[in-house]
Amino acid sequence: MTERARKLENLQPQKDFFIGIDSDGCVFDTMEIKIKECFCPAFISNFGLQPVSKYAREVFEFVNLYSRMRGINRFKTILLVLDLLARRNEVKARDFKVPELRGLREWVSCEAKLSNATLREEIERNPDPDLKLAYNYSLEVNEAVKRIVRNVPLFPCVCSSLEKLSKQADTIVISATPSATLEKEWNDYGIRDYVRFIAGQEMGSKQEHISIGAKGKYSQDRMLVIGDSPGDYTAAESNGALFYPIIPGHEESSWRHLYEESLDRFFEGKYKEEYQERLVLRFLENLPERAGWIHT
């Protein structure tokens, strides 16, 4: 366990409630610009997808923004997009060979903490070209984010919601974004003091963040996860926590509803069962599992 993870493990409750909050696409309106301007160009460039760039872009944006795969770790996303791209009839018609990246597949299937740091360590042991390609891609993405993503606002009603929830709940950030980026963003926007801890990519999955930071420390009906992807919902469920969805495309109304109604229900113990089910159903209805161009 890393030193930072140990700090989270040692974080003791100060309040009766726990709330874990995702960052990109949930608190910050960053997903569109990061995926379209930073991730996707680097993806096409590094993996040699220029001959099918139109289709690669369409698949990449669907996976990362508009589907139930939204929010998955960047290294898993590489493989998901390539697999879907290889199934497109338009790509087959061009006789384009989509990279298989067997070395990356093996690493992703074995490594629990998928981050730049663990990938760099693996490359030192095993200098596989696929791993180096994925590592260079990830570094390029981080540099593009630093260069391009600025002056991106919080979603309306985020500040008032953070102020309200932090009065009654121990709150941490749970994210697949590198910790340094998260610390900078939350500090730059003056909202760092609303959360007790920031858990990023280097500390494992969001499921692990919740498990280390909250499981066994709080009653399950007093644990809530706020997120914008099905992965956030799964992370909450796996730890017995409740879930509140920030619905892509309806972020402003989601935050307003959280502030005006859902937080009060959570703190009053009236959030479970039918109430959460209605919210989750609407959330999943907005994120399709398949696109029309996916072929078997």
Contact criterion met (CB below 8 Å) for 119 and 135: yes
* Nearest CA among 229, 157, 163, 190 for reference residue 19: 163
| Tens digits of pLDDT across the chain (296 residues) | 678 788 888 999 999 999 999 999 999 998 999 999 999 999 999 999 999 999 999 999 999 999 999 988 899 999 999 999 999 999 999 999 999 999 999 999 999 888 899 999 999 999 999 999 999 999 999 999 999 988 888 999 999 999 999 999 999 999 988 888 899 889 999 999 999 999 998 888 899 999 999 999 999 999 999 999 999 999 999 999 999 999 999 999 999 999 999 999 999 999 987 899 999 999 999 998 888 777 65
CATH H-level superfamily of 3-29+154-285: HAD superfamily/HAD-like (3.40.50.1000)
The tokens describing 195, both together, are 């959360």
Integer Cα distance of 89 and 81 in angstroms: 15
Whole-angstrom CA distances from 121 to 1, 114, 125 are: 15, 11, 7
Which residues neighbour 213 within 8 Å (Cβ) at sequence distance 6 or greater?
8, 9, 11, 18, 20, 172, 174, 197, 199
Where in the chain are the domains? 3-29+154-285, 31-148
Residue 160: burial class (beta carbons within 10 Å; 0-12, 13-18, 19+): middle
Closest CA to 223 of 81, 209, 284, 231: 209
Q: 3-state DSSP call for residue 238?
A: helix
Instruction: Identify the residue whose tokens are 């998928």.
Output: 114
Q: Which residues of 10-36 are buried (b: 16+ CB within 10 A; e: fewer)?
A: ebeeeeebbbbbbbbbbbbbbbebbbe
0.75 exceeded by the pTM?
Answer: yes
Q: Which amino acid is at 226?
A: I
As given in the structure block, the two tokens for residue 220 are 């399950």
Q: Is the Cβ–Cβ distance between 203 and 209 less than 8 Å?
A: yes
Q: Is 105 exposed, middle or buried (0-12, 13-18, 19+ CB in 10 A)?
A: middle
The residues facing 169 across adjacent strands are 17
Give the up-direction half-sphere exposure of residue 19: CA atoms within 13 A in the CB hemisphere. 26
| Dist CA 295 CA 117 (whole Å) | 36
